[in-house]
Structure 1
C-alpha cells in the first residue's frame, strides 16, 4: 500500500488534483477562444494585469481593442486530474463511435466524439477523493451558471445522488484551424492536442483509423484532405500507448488516472448551460480484469511511471502487458493490421467470455495490493 499512498501524496502535492480540498482556490474560469475554460487562477491574474497595462498604454491609439477575451490565447486550460474507474456500463470508446450515417448529434463522421463515464474506484483511498472531486466540479460549474438556464453535459442531472460524470474525446480536427475566417478555432478544437504532443499525432494516419462499417469507411476516405485524427493519449499499466482498436478492451472497467480540461458555453435559444470534460490523457493504474475482481485481496496496482514513454521498441521487448510485440510494423502496432480505412477487427467485438479468458492468460507485473 505504500506505493499507492505515495502516488496519492504526489497527486495531493500537485496544484490540480480534484481530490484535494484546496484545489478550487487555484482555479478560475476564463474565456479561451469561444468558450470559458478552467485555467490557473495565478496565470489568469497575471494575464488580467498584463491586459490592463496594455489597455492603459494603448487607450489613446485609434482602433485599439479591449474587453473580455482579448489576448485569451495566451491562457491555456489546466489539466485537472482524478483517479476513477471507467464504468463498463457507460463506456463508448469504440474508435469510430459506431457511426453508421448522419444523426442529430453527429451529422457527419468528422463530428464524432468518444465518451465514457467515470465512477468511484473500489479502493477506499481514492473513492473518497473521487466523491470530493465531483463536489469540486459541481462548485466550479456553479461559478459560471446562468440564472434560469438548464444544465447539460458532464453530470446526469436527474441522478440523485450523483455517482459519476462523463468525459469525452473529439476524434477529428480540421487541418485548417481558422476554417470560417474569424481567427478562432472551431468549438472543441481549443484542446490543442496537436500542440500538446505532435509526436503522437504523427503516429496516427487518418486513413488507417479503425471503422466498423461501410458508411464510416466511405466518410473517412472523404476526409483525407480536410481533417486529421487526434488519438486519445491513453496508456496501459506499463506506460505504453494503447492502440485505438484496444480502447474498449483495455479501458472499460479499468481504474485510471485521468487528466481533463473543463469547458462551458451558453446556448441562448435553448436557455442551456453546457459543460464538458475533455480527455487530455488516461493512464491505466489497474487493468479492468483486476479492478473488477470480487475479492479485495486480488486487486492490484502497478508501479507508477514518472512519465508515459509511449510505444517504444525497448518497452515492447521487455514488458509483458504491452500494446504490441517487438518487431511489428508501426502501423500494425497502432492499428492491429495494415490497411486504409481498416474495419475494426474482432478485438473489440469478441465475447465477454473470450475477453475474460484472454485477461487470465496475460502476465501482468503487479507489485502492491490495491
Structure 2
C-alpha cells in the first residue's frame, strides 16, 4: 500500500485560500448561499449573493456556481484519459461523441484537508436532496463507494462542443499541435477515423470558455497545462484542488434523479506516488566473452 504523502505547503496554502472563497465544500456554512435553477431539461446549482430564503429570488445568476474541494483522484475508478478509455460503440456510448471522461474523488488522506472530506460529502448530499423530481428514485452515478468501502463522488468532463461560429473568432487548431484532432491520444487507434469525422462539426473544449480551444483544464504543480498524453500518469492518484459545476436531470424511463459534476478546473497539489511493481528477475553475465556462444545460464547480480 502506498503511504500517504506528507502535508504539502501548497495544500495548506490552497486550503486557507479556499476557506475564504465562499464556495469550498469543506465549509458547511455555504449551503444557504446556493440555489437550484431550472435549465433546459434539468437544473443547475447557482450562487446567490445572500442566504436564500424559502422563496426563490426573482433574479438568479445565469451561470452555474463553481464549487471547490481538495481531494485525491482515485486510482481505480479513473477514466479521465483523453478519450475516456473508449474502445468503440457500446451500450453507454453509441459513438465517440458520447464519451465523457470521468473520475472518482476520495479522501485526500492527510491533514489539514482529510478532516474536511466528510463535510464535503455532507454538503454535496444536502445540495442533491434539495433538488429531486417527485416520484423518481435517487440515481447512483454521482456518489460511489471505492474498493475500500469508503465514500467518493464522481466528476466528468465534457469533451466535445458544437462550434460557435462567432464573427472574427477562430477555434481551429493546426494539425501538428498536441491538442488537435490529428494528434489526440486514443485508447484504440482504430477509432481515429471516427474522431476525425467530427472535426468539421465539433471542437475539443473544456466545459467553460475561459480556456479557449484547450481540452481538460488540468494543471500540474508548476502551473503548466497537462497535455492529453500525460493525463493518466499526472492525475491518477494525485491530490488536487478541483472546481466544478453541479447539475441535475431526471431520467424518465428509469425514473431516476441523476446528479453530475462537470469539471471546470483541476490544479495538482501533490503529484501521484509512483506505484512499485515487482519486476521479473533477470540474469545477466558478469563478463561477456564474444568468442564463446552465450549461455542461457547466467550469473545473477
> The TM-score by the shorter chain falls in which range?
0.7 to 0.9
Compute the displacement of 1:9 (Å). 2.0
**Could you tell me which of 210, 218, 228 is aligned with 2:203?**
228
Compute the displacement of 1:244 (Å). 0.5
Q: Does 1:13 align with 2:1?
A: no
Q: Which residue of 2 aligns with 1:49?
A: 58
Compute the displacement of 1:48 (Å). 4.4
SS at structure 1 position matched to 2:102: strand
Counterpart mapping for 1:86-97 below 5 A: 86-97=73-84
CA contact (8 A) 1:176 1:226 kept: no
Q: Does 1:283 align with 2:267?
A: yes
Q: Which structure 1 segments of 5+ residues have no match?
A: 51-71, 178-194, 293-350, 355-370
Query: How many Å separate the matches in 2 of 1:3 and 1:111?
Result: 36
CA contact (8 A) 2:178 2:227 kept: no
Larger CA deviation: 157-166 vs 244-253: 157-166
CA contact (8 A) 1:38 1:262 kept: yes
Query: How many Å separate the matches in 1 of 2:43 and 2:178?
Result: 31
Q: Which residue of 2 aligns with 1:259?
A: 243
Compute the displacement of 1:275 (Å). 0.5
Compute the displacement of 1:207 (Å). 2.7
CA contact (8 A) 2:46 2:64 kept: yes
Query: How many Å separate the matches in 2 of 1:145 and 1:159?
Result: 28
| Deviation readout 1:208-266 (Å, 9 max, x if unpaired) | 21113243201012111111012110000000000011110000010000001100011
**Residues 217 and 144 from structure 1, CA distance in 2 versus in 1: closer, same or farther, beyond 3 angstroms?**
same
Q: Which structure 2 segments of 5+ residues have no match?
A: 1-6, 206-214, 280-301
| Deviation readout 1:178-209 (Å, 9 max, x if unpaired) | xxxxxxxxxxxxxxxxx9xx899x98322321
**TM-score (norm: length of structure 1):** 0.61
User: How many residue pairs were aligned?
Assistant: 253
Question: Which of the two has greater helix per residue?
Answer: 1
CA contact (8 A) 1:96 1:216 kept: no
CA contact (8 A) 2:145 2:152 kept: no
**Could you tell me which of 155, 170, 186 is aligned with 2:143?**
155
- Structure showing greater radius of gyration is 2
Compute the displacement of 1:146 (Å). 2.8
Q: Which residue of 2 aligns with 1:249?
A: 233
Counterpart mapping for 1:122-161 below 5 A: 122-152=109-139, 153-156=141-144
Q: CA RMSD in A?
A: 3.2
Counterpart mapping for 1:1-370 below 5 A: 4-42=11-49, 48-50=57-59, 75-152=62-139, 153-156=141-144, 163-175=151-163, 204-230=179-205, 231-289=215-273
**Residues 146 and 75 from structure 1, CA distance in 2 versus in 1: closer, same or farther, beyond 3 angstroms?**
same
CA contact (8 A) 2:241 2:269 kept: yes
CA contact (8 A) 2:86 2:96 kept: yes
Compute the displacement of 1:4 (Å). 4.3
